[in-house]
Every structure is written in structure tokens, then in C-alpha cells.
Amino acid sequence: MKPYLLELSNLNVSYPNGIQALSAVNLKIDEGGLWGILGPNGSGKTTLLKAILGLLPHNGKVLFRAQPIKKSAKQIAYVEQKGDFDMDFPITVFQCVLTGTYPKLGLFKKPGSSEKQAVLNALDKLGLMQFKNRQIGQLSGGQFQRVLIARMLVQNADLIFLDEPFIGIDMESEALIIHHLKQMALNGHTIIMVHHDLKAVREYFDKLILVNRTVVDYGATEDIFIGEKLKQVFPYYHEVVLA
């Protein structure tokens, strides 16, 4: 039997101040598909991603294809919220996207012509060719989010996490990004994305994970995006969304 792409068993995360951010999280995810993580503010969505990635101390098992996830870190990409970046950093769009090739290159190796060509292809797909020599601080929010997606494309990872990539960006950028994410999911990549706009859920995601200090439920969008399930994490708002 093929192992799960990602398997979480009894994952617990608590902050240094003693607050339990996530308890007893159990989750099994197969290869492929575009997953949405839904939950109210402060429900632990970003914490869940960071714990899976090993960026936060946690208890419990996190397995990637039945192996500890640390062993496969190069097969995993993470697009964090764009507000976490130093926009004055001396780096151009081209170089920023090129950093996506670094994890798989290994120590001491420099990116060659194939890596640079992959960057150009990604910039072209995201409509960023005219900005390739710009410093990142000279871009709009939507353009910079597209840069981060281009970097994720060149990483060519099997499992991809995105944390609220559509906050503060224009509709055109959002449409372009979701188009490429769907394309990647069709090509066998597994994408897990924290998302806040419930109105676009049915259109965007094949599968959903409901989070509220634990994983409340998960599965196909048509099975999860229904009143009785949503009520567990959005006791008031679900009626507005489903109306």
C-alpha cells in the first residue's frame, strides 16, 4: 500500500507562555490536489503549517511518505505571508526567484544555465519578465506575491504550503496564481493553502481542512463545505457564506 504523502499523528503545539495552540491533531493526506485550510482568526492555521515544517517546537509525529519530514525537506516548499519580508533587501526579482533553486542544489554548487532558464520560465508564466531586474521593494503587493509564487514554481516541490497568499493583492494576480496552483495540482503536486475568503472556497479547492485549535474535520470540499461541518469552526459566519 502506498504511504500517505503527509501523515500527522497526535500533533501538539504549545507556546512558551503555556497556551496550547494545537492539540491532538491527526491528519492523513494523499498525493495530489489543492487543499484549503479554513478556520477563524487565532485558530492555529499558520501554527499548523509551521509545526509541520518543523519551524515550531511540537510533540507528535509528522511523516512525509512514511519518513520523518525533516529527511525530505527539499521536497517541500513554503510560501509565507509576504508581510514577513524585508522589502529593502538588496535583491532583484530574478535573484529572489533564483533562491528557489538553492535547496536542491546542495552545498557549494552555484545555479547554472538550467536553473536560470527555469527562473525565466517561471517569471514568464507569472507575467513578471518586465520586472526581472527590479529590486523587490519597487513592486506592488500583487507583483511581489507573484514573485513568491514564481520562486515556488522553480522549487518544483512535491508538497507545497502557502499561508494566505491572497491577502492585499489585486484580483488579476489572485486569478493568475490560482490558475497556476490548479495546474500544479493536476500535475500531481500537493498544495495546502491557508485561506480566509470563504466565498471562493468551492471554486478554488478540491479538498478542505477545518481547523480550530485542532483539525476538526477534513476531506473533499463537497463533503466538508456544508452547514453542519462549517458550524463547528464558524458558528455564525457559516450561514452568511452558505446563504
Residue 112: beta bridge partners? none
Here the cell at position 14 is 504549545
Lateral strand order in the sheet of 67-68: 20-29, 6-14, 59-64, 67-68
Residue 27: helix, strand or coil by DSSP?
strand
Q: Which is nearer to other proteins, 74 or 231 (CB)?
A: 74
Least distance from C-beta 100 to other proteins, angstroms? 8
Q: What distance in Å separates the CA atoms of residue 26 and residue 169, rounded to the nearest whole number?
A: 33
Minimum Å gap between C-beta 242 and other proteins is 35
Shortest Cβ 131–other proteins spacing (Å): 12
Q: Which is nearer to other proteins, 76 or 150 (CB)?
A: 76
Of 55 and 220, which CB lies nearer to other proteins in the complex structure?
55
Residue carrying C-alpha cell 509576504: 82
Strand 215-220: give its sheet, edge to edge: 76-79, 159-163, 190-194, 33-38, 207-211, 215-220
What are residue 96's phi and psi, to 5 degrees? -60, -45
Q: How far is residue 136 CA from its own chain's centroid?
A: 21
CB-nearer residue toward other proteins: 23 or 92: 92
State the residues that interact with other proteins by CB under 8 A.
Answer: 53-55, 70, 73-74, 76-78, 80, 84-86, 89-92, 95-96, 99, 102-103, 105, 107-108, 110-111, 134-135, 155, 161
Q: How far is the CB of 103 from other proteins (least distance, A)?
A: 4
Q: Shortest gap between Cβ of 40 and other proteins (angstroms)? A: 24
CB nearer to other proteins: give 134 or 180.
134
Q: CB-wise, 161 or 225, nearer to other proteins?
A: 161
Contact 20, 12 (CB under 8 A): yes
Min. distance of Cβ 41 from other proteins in angstroms? Answer: 21
- What are the grid coordinates assigned to 51, written together? 509545526
Q: How far apart are CA 221 and CA 219, in angstroms?
A: 6
